[in-house]
Structure 1
Amino acid sequence: MRRTESGFTLIEVLVALVVLAFVATSAQMAIAQYIDQQALTSSRYKGHWAAWNGAMEIYRQSHWDQAGIQDALAESESVLGTQWSLESRRVDTLGQSLQRVEVIATANDDAASKTSVVLFVSK
């Protein structure tokens, strides 16, 4: 009488392990990329917030003169635990009554994290 064995062969188990390892590695890479993207988005959001705060401060104080490009803002802003350096650039536009103001926020701990806000203000 012949006895039949049920179960998986060694080759089948090894193939299943290779497939499982491939799926796990792909999932880990996707999760790591998602976490990095979330950190970048959070950093950009904080920088944009800091730049808008600086822009609204300039708008509120109305630091306008007729000299063209000058820094009206050179300070630091803390947003949600991140320190940001703010810089502003002003340029006269073709129209006599408007100035273009760009506020640039740069993270003090990461120079690559930089964002800016542009607004137009009447003279």
Structure 2
Amino acid sequence: MASPCKPSGSKPATRQSSGSKLAAFVGGGREFAESEVPTYRGVMKRGRLLQELSGIREGVDKQGYPVRDIAKDLTPMVLAQWKKSNAQFAPPVVVIDRSVTRRIDNFWKQVSEVVRDSN
């Protein structure tokens, strides 16, 4: 039987090799777990899901969805999830919206830098 690889030994392009390195590092996009407060990794996965869905719905590539916009879109989701887990998770107990957005934005950029430097 013929091998799917080229005779020269090079591998065919796959979604994993041609896709986002961030997805390989963090994992695929997914919703928040209903009963848990989201971790940074959970927020990153939800952001990846937003990227994937924006590309499908609006025909926008991932580069056309800036990290700052992802962070702004994720902020109300994170705050809603916090409120679900404990009704007292509201300012001044937790940080305000702008701070959440800034933290998500900074963390996303740090992870992206680590992923870029690991290649």
The structure with the largest strand share of the pair is 1
Confirm or deny a common fold (TM above 0.5).
Answer: no
Which fold has the larger relative contact order, with Cα–Cα distance below 8 Å and residues 6 or more apart in sequence? 2
The structure with the largest helix share of the pair is 2
